A and B are shown apart, each in its own frame.
Chain A
Amino acid sequence: MSASTVLKLPPQETADLPKKSYLNSEYGLKSWLLTRDHKRIAILYLFSTVFFFTIGGTAAAFIRLNLLTPGGELMAADTYNKLFSIHGIIMVFFFLVPIAPAVLGNFLIPLMIGAKDVAFPRLNLLSWYLFVTGGACELYAIIWGGMDTGWTFTTPLSTHYVNTHVIGAALGIFIAGFSSILTGVNFIVTIHRLRAPGMTWFRLPLFIWSFYATSIIFVLATPVIAIALVLIMMERTIGIGVFDPARGGDPLLFQHLFWFYSHPAVYVMILPGMGVISEVVACFSRKRVFGYTAVAFSSVAIAVFSFFVWAHHMFIMGISNYSALVFSLMTMLVAVPSAIKIFNWSSTMYKGSITFDTPMLYTFSFIGLFTMGGMTGVMLGCLGMDIHLTETYFIVAHFHYVMVGGMVSAFMAGLHFWWPKMTGRMYPEALGRLAASVLFIGFNLTFFPQFILGYMGMPRRYHAYPPEFQVLNVLSTAGASILAVGYLLPMLYLTWSLKYGKVAGSNPWRATGLEWQIQSPPLTENFLETPVVDFEAYDFEWLANKEKNEVQSVG
């Protein structure tokens, strides 16, 4: 521990953008639409997922506007039902599930492990096309009238009792699911086989461990929802009767098949974010993550345990008391690795040297909001408590805390952290901090009142509600308007930074990690020579030594 980790380097402002990078190696629409470069594919995904985010967000805006008044006067009940269904489907399947793996994962995994690309670049491009095709199918279903079964497609409502575009919506998700499966396969093979020499498993950044765990879930869980959706489509078109009690079918079977995927899916929607947090906390504390092995194994433990808890979404649906016991116990167990991670990240800051740049602010947001969301998850996992709280706004608040307060904060942290690497430019720091703060305040104002509403008993998916719930609903909508600003700001200043942002140079954060040892933006082939790794992850001493001994040339 003799080498100092303090760096004194010439300022980066005098740097120039590198002449050749993956962005300008080829020009033209065809070079983007037929690219095999994982970085370009990540950018393609960024555009498509942000596009879907705005659609889902618009639906949310209308939902909250309708809930300003208890009578639901803003729109008809059918319209409202379609809006929350669309919000759920788009946000879950077309934004949260793909965003971190497809954008950050695609861009960074090869860079972090020292590879030139993912294992199957053409399959990677196919994944994007499958995603876009599924999205187009979904958009068709939405534009031609929408569907109103909720994102959970509960049978027999979805099979026999609505006449909206259920099949179109299910088909869109089915197609997009293959995108997830192929991405998962790609990542697992890449991480196993394409690591640079010397990059052993325990030298990998924790980001990679999280994405590896996510990919395991992609591969094992997604096919089950594929079959569940196929069964819905068959029941709706030909009426095979597999979920129809009048013909001996069991509607609860659909619930089991659906939640067998959808519960691990929520861990897909948080594990990548946790990977980002590991990286950001290490960099902005200038020290290695506390308890590397614990965090790494916790990621895999979360992925494995996530498969054993699905029926905690079904505690009151008539499953036997004894199976409810088992699933509640497993739910308590799956909460423990997440707790371990939170404590490890917090301890990383101990005796660190902390700066408060935008990614770190989003990280603080994550730690606070995910902990709250996670603890309310434990509350819901307790059987007796779930009886009162399930199907109310408490659930809505819980999952928004973990998914939006957790995942989206983490994604914003990652987007800001790696923005200079992806584009070669810095975003405006002051605006970044402002947006992070606005997001935190807006988020809490939107979703905290919903915990109270939930305990009071206000059910979810209600177009109109009893008047005594109005005050809290108005508070929630007010918060949503602030939250919207928190999302709009980055969209604006990040776009602005593409042309006017400061040139970042290869390592503006002085971070460890192979991705920071190459130019920003990277060359198409990432590394001209295969790197040889002889240092641990988050080895700030190695970094200090390297920077000290190198000849610096500016410009």
Chain B
Amino acid sequence: MDSQAIAVPATKSEIVHEHSPHLEHHFATESQQREASNFGMWLFLLTEIMFFGGMFTAYLIYRIWYYPAFVAGSHWMIIWAGTLNTVVLICSSFTMAMGVHSAEIRNRKLLLRYLIATLLLGCVFLGIKAFEWHDEWEHHHVPGLNFSINEFTHVDPRYPLDKPLPRDMAEKTQDYFSLYFLLTGVHALHMLIGVSILLFIIFHAWRGAYTTGNMNFVENFGLYWHFVDIVWIFLFPLLYLISRHQ
């Protein structure tokens, strides 16, 4: 028995392709496809929240236990670099949002401009980050590789009111820097992935791929980019601004 519950057209070629070439065959309408891909992206971002969440949990615990060490470690951050990075990322989120809008209104030139601006800002961020990491290396603040507690057991000239840490608390600054490198490293990795995808998007945008009605990919990438930005907005005060009012 080979009965079909559903009526069968004679041949498949009789199914007329009335829809746009972007519509995948398992979706009924373009709006269904767009909503599905959007939903999928939000779910993926939820998994990213859980991923960063593990690191934030570790940070929370160690900061409560070793607060003086975290204060000392945080004072060694280059505040202007961190602030500049924050501004850069917020601007890049703005240019990205404008890019998505340009795709919506099908303006190819504008889209390209905004995407390239986002790319440049992203690269500036990564460059400043690299500079900061180099500085940490110079100061022997890289755990496991060249970490030294010397700078914490002596008076820091930039913060003459800070007392030098006793040895046992100075040892704990290693926990601060481990989390610093972990958090900013994973964040930078996400930025790098974002920048790579952005290159891909720019190339296809130049060919007109996103301004002919199917801008799902740009829209979803925008979501990703905004997420990476928001993670930084949390990282910045947690890492750079501990007890800065002194």
Contacts and interface: CB of A to CB of B under 8 A. Distances in A.
A268 to B, nearest CB: 14
B161 interface: no
A238 B144 contact: yes
B45 to A, nearest CB: 10
A194 B39 contact: no
Interface residues of A, number: 69
Contacts of B3: 506, 550-553
A223 interface: yes
Given A193-B35, A241-B178, A223 B48 contact: yes
Contacts of B39: 188-189, 192-193
Given A181-B47, A189-B43, A224-B54, A528 B9 contact: yes
B178 A517 contact: no
A192 B186 CA distance: 31
B172 interface: yes
B227 interface: no
B193 interface: no
A257 interface: yes
B7 A529 contact: yes
Interface in A201-259: 219-224, 226-228, 230-231, 234, 237-242, 247-250, 253, 256-257
Interface in B38-53: 39-40, 43-44, 46-48, 50-53
B16 interface: no
A219 B26 contact: no
Given A257-B57, A528-B9, A529-B6, A248 B1 contact: no
Contact of B2 (A9, A227, A237, A553): A553
Contacts, number: 168
A185 interface: yes
Nearest to A228: B54
Interface stretch (A112-120, A342-350, A442-450): A112-120
A506 B36 contact: no
B246 interface: no
A16 B43 CA distance: 43
Nearest to A516: B5
B164 interface: no
B50 A240 contact: no
Nearest to B69: A248
B65 to A, nearest CB: 8
Contacts of A15: 1-2
A185 B44 contact: yes
B55 interface: yes
A525 interface: yes
B66 interface: yes
B62 interface: yes
A506 B57 CA distance: 52
B6 A527 contact: yes
Nearest to A118: B26
B53 A224 contact: yes
Contacts of B26: 110, 115-119, 121, 194, 525
Interface residues of B, number: 51
Given A519-B4, A528-B9, A529-B6, A223 B61 contact: no
A318 interface: no
Contacts of B57: 256-257
A149 interface: no
A216 to B, nearest CB: 10
Contact of B182 (A188, A240, A531): A240
B25 interface: yes
B1 A12 contact: yes
Determine which residue in B1, B24, B25, B40 has the highest number of CB atoms from chain A within 10 A of its CB, and name it. B1
B66 A248 contact: yes
B43 A234 contact: no
A18 B61 contact: no
Interface string A520-555: 000001011111000000000000001000111111
A518 interface: yes
A123 B61 CA distance: 36
A9 B36 CA distance: 41
B171 interface: yes
A139 B188 CA distance: 30
B143 A193 contact: no
Given A181-B47, A189-B36, A555-B2, A248 B174 contact: yes
A525 B25 contact: yes
A505 interface: yes
A166 to B, nearest CB: 16
Nearest to A188: B43
A193 B43 CA distance: 13
Interface string A296-330: 00000000000000000000000000000000000
B175 interface: yes
A529 B100 CA distance: 35
B144 A530 contact: no
Contacts of B51: 223-224, 226-227
Interface in A35-80: none
Contact of B62 (A223, A230, A248, A519): A248
25 contacts: A119-B36, A120-B37, A121-B26, A185-B44, A189-B39, A194-B27, A221-B50, A223-B50, A224-B50, A227-B52, A234-B144, A237-B144, A239-B143, A240-B143, A240-B174, A241-B178, A242-B178, A247-B172, A257-B58, A506-B3, A517-B5, A528-B12, A529-B7, A531-B5, A553-B2
Given A119-B26, A224-B50, 12 more contacts: A12-B1, A120-B36, A120-B40, A184-B43, A223-B48, A224-B53, A240-B174, A241-B178, A248-B174, A527-B6, A528-B12, A553-B2
